[in-house]
């Protein structure tokens, strides 16, 4: 029980730290009357390259940040709880991949916010659970579908608002899906349904009979 509680708490450390950083930056931006939008991605221009790394840290308003807080916290926790041994690699890949793809396909303008990361995490958790065919991970896939299935509409220009970076959302979704496929052989795997039978067979084969036991004792 203590081990489970500790694991739950540890999985929340990095998500909570990132949320803290996001709010700290927003407080600084508002309090100091700064404008961090230029830390975002500006597609196909040199001034927007740094945004590939920094764009998830910047939000246009408190409303924007608040809307991203709970989904980001929950999806990151799921990643670091269920995929703890490979979570850092996946999160880094989604972060950079989302920014790089937005830089390539985005419309002119500053693309900011952690929404792309949210899409990347959601799509990774969904497809990874399906591909691995492991019951706990499939349950997470279904939960993500139930909670965030409606996100899919904001990946397309026909449904997204003009002020919404649908390219960032689409980039995150593509990156998350690629990560689900690329990391499929790593991290938690579906247990072998015949593992118990194999162990029993190995145990039976490993038990020496009386004659072999006597021979082994003499040889020893």
Tens of pLDDT, residues 167-194: 999 999 999 999 999 999 998 888 876 5
81-105: average pLDDT? 97
Work out the pLDDT band at 219, boundaries 50, 70, 90.
very low
Taking the CA of residue 196 as centre, how many other CA atoms within 13 Å lie in the half-sphere pointing to its CB?
1
Please state, in angstroms and rounded to a whole number, the distance separating the CA atoms of residues 38 and 165: 15
Tens of pLDDT, residues 35-51: 999 999 999 999 999 99
Work out the pLDDT band at 216, boundaries 50, 70, 90.
very low
17-33: average pLDDT? 97
Token pair recorded at residue 176: 């998350």
Please state, in angstroms and rounded to a whole number, the distance separating the CA atoms of residues 18 and 114: 11
Q: Which CATH class is domain 2-219?
A: mainly alpha
Please name which of 213, 144, 147 lies closest in space to residue 176, comparing C-alpha atoms. Answer: 144
Please state, in angstroms and rounded to a whole number, the distance separating the CA atoms of residues 126 and 140: 7
pLDDT at site 204: 60
């Amino acid at each position: 029980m203590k081990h489970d509680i500790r694991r739950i708490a540890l999985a929340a450390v990095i998500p909570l730290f990132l949320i803290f950083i996001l709010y700290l930056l927003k407080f600084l931006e508002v309090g100091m009357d700064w404008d961090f939008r230029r830390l975002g991605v500006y597609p196909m221009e040199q001034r927007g390259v740094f945004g590939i790394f920094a764009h998830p840290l910047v939000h246009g308003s408190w409303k924007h940040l608040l809307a991203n807080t709970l989904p980001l916290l929950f999806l990151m926790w799921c990643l670091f709880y269920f995929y703890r041994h490979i979570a850092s690699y996946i999160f880094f890949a989604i972060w950079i991949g989302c920014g790089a793809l937005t830089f390539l396909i985005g419309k002119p303008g500053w693309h900011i916010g952690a929404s792309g990361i949210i899409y990347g995490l959601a799509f990774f958790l969904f497809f990874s659970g399906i591909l691995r065919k492991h019951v706990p991970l499939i349950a997470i896939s279904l939960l993500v579908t139930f909670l965030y299935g409606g996100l899919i509409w904001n990946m397309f220009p026909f449904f997204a608002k003009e002020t919404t970076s649908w390219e960032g959302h689409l980039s995150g979704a593509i990156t998350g899906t690629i990560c689900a496929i690329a990391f499929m052989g790593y991290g938690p795997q579906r247990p072998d349904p015949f593992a118990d039978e194999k162990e029993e067979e190995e145990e039976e084969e490993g038990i020496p009979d009386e004659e072999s036991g006597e021979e082994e004792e003499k040889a020893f």
